[in-house]
């Protein structure tokens, strides 16, 4: 799970921090495949500091549910490494 400290808008194309997809691309298309990992889509949860305990619990439950079926997900197409 990857959390981003600021609101997700800051990680959109043209946002303050830049496009989260562009930030993750070297990891997803380079580092992980290079060492033999398959690459599922990222789990991005934003603004954890602004969530109450119930909202954090819901995010963790959603992550746990995804992990139970992650082997069935389509992987990110990374091309030839």
> Tell me: the pLDDT tens digits for 32-63?
988 999 999 988 887 777 889 999 999 999 99
Q: What is the pLDDT of residue 63?
A: 94
Q: What is the pLDDT of residue 61?
A: 95
Q: Give the separation between CA 11 and CA 46, rounded to whole angstroms.
A: 10
| pTM as predicted | 0.66
Confirm if 11 and 51 have CB atoms less than 8 A apart. Answer: no
pLDDT above 70: residue 4: no
Nearest to 39, CA basis, from 29, 26, 51, 52: 29
């Amino acid at each position: 799970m990857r959390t981003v400290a600021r609101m997700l808008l800051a990680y959109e194309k043209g946002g303050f921090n830049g496009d989260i997809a562009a930030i993750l691309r070297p990891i997803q298309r380079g580092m992980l495949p290079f060492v033999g990992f398959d690459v599922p889509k990222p789990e991005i949860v934003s603004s954890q500091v602004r969530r109450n305990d119930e909202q954090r619990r819901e995010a963790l439950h959603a992550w746990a549910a995804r992990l139970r079926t992650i082997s069935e997900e389509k992987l990110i197409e990374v091309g030839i490494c």
